[in-house]
Structure 1
Amino acid sequence: MEKLIACVQEKPDAICRLICFPWAGAGTADLAKWGRLFNDAIEVYCIRLPGRETRLEEPFAKDMTSAVNEITSVLLKSLKEKPFAFFGHSFGTYLSFACALQLKEKYGLEPVHLFLSAAHTPNVSYRIINIMKQNHKLATKSKNNILHLLVLKKKNPPFLYVEANPKYMYLMECFMTTVYVHRFEKTDMNTPLSCDITYFCGSEDKIFDTKGWQELTSGDTSFYELPGGHLYLLKPSNQSFLIKHITKALENANQ
């Protein structure tokens, strides 16, 4: 549990746990600190994937399934103890959604709320992955070509950000390996969840088909656009909005 989860402030009397899933290449620092910002009713866990921080020497997860299996198996006991919710940003959105699917299908557990951020809906991502697959020979020649292909096909600022920061290149390679092998088939799109979903994004980000998230649950869905780009959530004013909104939603869910 300790190597997978960062929890900066334990709250044994909390009525709900918020499990946070960082974006590709990120550690736990930015989201784990939310544990000090929420009231005592909400305890925050942040997922630490292999190859990051204290797990730096561990090999990256070979695919999405491996990452999901580790997370759900390690967290299973905790998730049975009290209600829980997920917050995922960018790649973390896909990982949190995949974990929610497995928890429901395999264990009959479901988050009380999914908070999703800065990510295309899975069916759109599936089409993008198919484009990448068609260009596999180009994409596997070098890390630079992988980034070039993504910038051309997705026109997405986060990849420009990574391209401008060479020290994150190896993390992008891990991200590519993980996403490439995990696809959401059409059969996965038949309203798999029943929890409420709230989707957030930055006003300057390039995200496709955000409304498609409402097709993935029979619960209520809501959408919020906040000022900023792909990492809008790092702005103090936006962080404050997220904390207040998530708190209110979880308190209502547990009444």
Structure 2
Amino acid sequence: MTGAADVRSTGPGRWFHRPAPWPDARLRLVCVPHAGAGAAAYGAWGDRLPADVELVGVRLPGRENRLREPPFHDWPSLTGAFADALDEQVRSPYVLFGHSMGAMLVYETVVRGTGRRPERVILSGCRAPAVRRALPAIHGLPDERFREELGRLAGTPREVLADPRLMAVLEPMLRADIRLAETWSHRDPPPVPVPVTTFRGADDEVAPAEAVAAWRTLAPRGIRSHRVPGGHFCLHDRAPEFFRLLARELSLC
């Protein structure tokens, strides 16, 4: 949580990573990672995006070059800090993309009200906010069980899980992220004030079809939905299919 001893930085090199900075790009794609991940999750995307789109990866506290910064433990603090950095450091026009917990942060940011709204939000592998999570919570499990479940979900590389010293450093951040994702909910969620695109994996157990379809009731500005073969990480596992659809979405912005 934020407080007097908080050492988080809002410098542009902290929140955002631009592999190939392009001030005159037609559009910017700002990519928010899933729980436990950083901007590196999107490191290879630059060569796969349309030529006139600039890739902007998001780095949250507690990972990569922000490893020494404490992770956020509540949605209002995280959303407020991210929205402020976005307004200050990302030029319009831009599209906000998020996968899993990253999509939750995208939603919280746009309904909170950023100064400059994105052209569209792209929500990947994410249930709608009024839908209960599909799988049991794991953020409070003992260490060994917690790591086993992380391996099963496939979001954390097995070589990381097998390294006790590395896990000792990363586990507080992983637990904080997963707790945010698992406790995220709205009884009466506000609608998304911009157009929406959803992606889901055909075999995704984390964000099944009905849970993703519920976004339709929160998209008064319009919604387009895509189903990709594969599971929760189909955007990486089935990259060719995913990027064909993503390029089409960006061309329409």
* Both structures adopt the same fold (TM-score exceeding 0.5): yes
Q: 1:251 to 1:33 in 2, by over 3 A?
A: same
State the Cα distance separating 1:88 from its structure 2 match.
0.8
What amino acid does structure 2 have at the position aligned with 1:66?
A: S
* Unpaired stretches in structure 1, ≥5 consecutive residues: 133-137
Q: CA RMSD in A?
A: 3.0
Matched, 1:218 2:220: yes
Please name the residue that 1:41 is paired with: 52
Please point out which of 117, 121, 127 is paired with 1:114: 121
* Unpaired stretches in structure 2, ≥5 consecutive residues: 1-11
Q: Whole-Å Cα distance in 2 between the matches of residues 100 and 194 of structure 1?
A: 7
Would you tell me which structure has more helix in proportion to its own residues?
1
Please point out which of 82, 92, 95 is paired with 1:85: 95
State the Cα distance separating 1:113 from its structure 2 match.
1.4
Q: Whole-Å Cα distance in 1 between the matches of residues 249 and 78 of structure 2?
A: 28
User: What is the correspondence of 1:108-147 to structure 2 with a 5 Å cutoff?
Assistant: 109-125=116-132, 140=140, 142-143=142-143
Matched, 1:71 2:82: yes
The alignment partner of 2:95 has SS state of: strand
Q: Whole-Å Cα distance in 1 between the matches of residues 180 and 126 of structure 2?
A: 15
State the Cα distance separating 1:22 from its structure 2 match.
0.7
Q: Whole-Å Cα distance in 2 between the matches of residues 180 and 251 of structure 1?
A: 33
The alignment partner of 1:54 has SS state of: helix
Q: Whole-Å Cα distance in 2 between the matches of residues 176 and 144 of structure 1?
A: 16
User: What is the correspondence of 1:1-255 to structure 2 with a 5 Å cutoff?
Assistant: 1-79=12-90, 81-104=91-114, 107=115, 109-125=116-132, 140=140, 142-143=142-143, 159=153, 165=161, 167=167, 169-179=171-181, 182-186=184-188, 188-189=189-190, 192-206=191-205, 207-208=207-208, 209-235=211-237, 238-253=238-253
Per the normalisation by structure 1, the TM-score is 0.77
State the Cα distance separating 1:23 from its structure 2 match.
0.7
Q: 1:121 to 1:157 in 2, by over 3 A?
A: farther
Per the normalisation by structure 2, the TM-score is 0.77
After TM superposition, the structure 1 stretch with the greater mean CA deviation from structure 2, 238-247 or 110-119, is: 238-247
- Please say if residues 38 and 63 of structure 2, whose CA atoms lie closer than 8 Å, have aligned partners that are also in contact: yes
Deviations 1:72-113 (CA, angstroms, capped at 9, x unpaired) = 11120344x321111111111101111111235xx3x32211
Q: 1:230 to 1:139 in 2, by over 3 A?
A: closer
What amino acid does structure 1 have at the position aligned with 2:236?
A: L
What amino acid does structure 2 have at the position aligned with 1:142?
A: P
The alignment partner of 1:3 has SS state of: helix
Deviations 1:16-59 (CA, angstroms, capped at 9, x unpaired) = 11110111111211213312322332111111111101111111
Q: Whole-Å Cα distance in 1 between the matches of residues 145 and 218 of structure 2?
A: 33
Identity %: 23
Count of aligned pairs: 231
- Extract structure 1 runs of 4+ deviating beyond 6 A: 145-148
Please name the residue that 2:9 is paired with: none
- Please say if residues 139 and 175 of structure 2, whose CA atoms lie closer than 8 Å, have aligned partners that are also in contact: no
- Please say if residues 194 and 218 of structure 1, whose CA atoms lie closer than 8 Å, have aligned partners that are also in contact: yes
The alignment partner of 2:107 has SS state of: helix
State the Cα distance separating 1:117 from its structure 2 match.
0.9
